[in-house]
């Protein structure tokens, strides 16, 4: 019984640690600092890392691909852009269907985010308009634009 508990604890800890590391890598890839982003992208040139990614691509790709896509669209350095394109190509060749699904989800998330930001902007505009129509009396808070 204790060996089962120990195994479950080890697996849950491993899952937590892997997720934490992947989130760290995502953060490093997205950095605009040249050397940090380059090193994070060079990591994918390691055969052992590639083997581990291939075995766990269902978990890893949905986490990493959005960071790569954002990096490919926004990074200022050409070397980082080229490395990003190479890593994306590697993921695409590893599992084209999963890679495409991750890109599609990434684009949907971006569209949803843009839509939410537009809705938020419109709500604030309505609030500002409503506030501008109210007379200022006594201790009423005033919105200054």
Q: pLDDT-based confidence at 96, cuts 50/70/90?
A: very high
The rounded distance, in Å, linking the Cα atoms of 94 and 40 is 19
51 occurs within a structural domain: yes
121 occurs within a structural domain: yes
Whose tokens are 């599992």? That residue is 95
Between the two ends of the chain, the Cα-to-Cα distance in Å is 66
92 occurs within a structural domain: yes
Average confidence (pLDDT) over 43-72:
90
100 occurs within a structural domain: yes
139 occurs within a structural domain: no
**To the nearest whole percent, how much of the chain has pLDDT over 90?**
41
Expressed as residue numbers, the domain containing 93 is 2-133
Number of domains the chain contains: 1
Confirm if 72 and 66 have CB atoms less than 8 A apart. no
83 occurs within a structural domain: yes
145 occurs within a structural domain: no
**Which pTM value belongs to this model?**
0.68
144 occurs within a structural domain: no
Say what the pLDDT of residue 7 is: 47
Say what the pLDDT of residue 87 is: 95
The answer, yes or no, to whether residue 93 has pLDDT greater than 70, is: yes
């Amino acid at each position: 019984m204790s060996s089962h508990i120990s195994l479950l604890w080890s697996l849950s800890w491993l899952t937590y640690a892997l997720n934490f590391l992947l989130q760290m890598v995502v953060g490093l890839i997205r950095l605009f600092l040249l050397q940090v982003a380059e090193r994070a992208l060079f990591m994918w040139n390691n055969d052992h890392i590639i083997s581990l990614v291939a075995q766990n691509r269902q978990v890893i790709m949905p986490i990493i691909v959005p960071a790569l896509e954002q990096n490919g669209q926004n990074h200022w350095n050409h070397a980082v852009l080229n490395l990003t394109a190479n890593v994306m190509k590697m993921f695409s060749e590893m599992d084209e269907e999963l890679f495409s699904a991750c890109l599609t989800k990434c684009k949907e998330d971006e569209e949803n985010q843009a839509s939410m930001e537009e809705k938020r902007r419109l709500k604030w505009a309505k609030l500002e308009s409503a506030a501008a129509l109210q007379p200022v009396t006594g201790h009423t808070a005033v919105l200054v634009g």
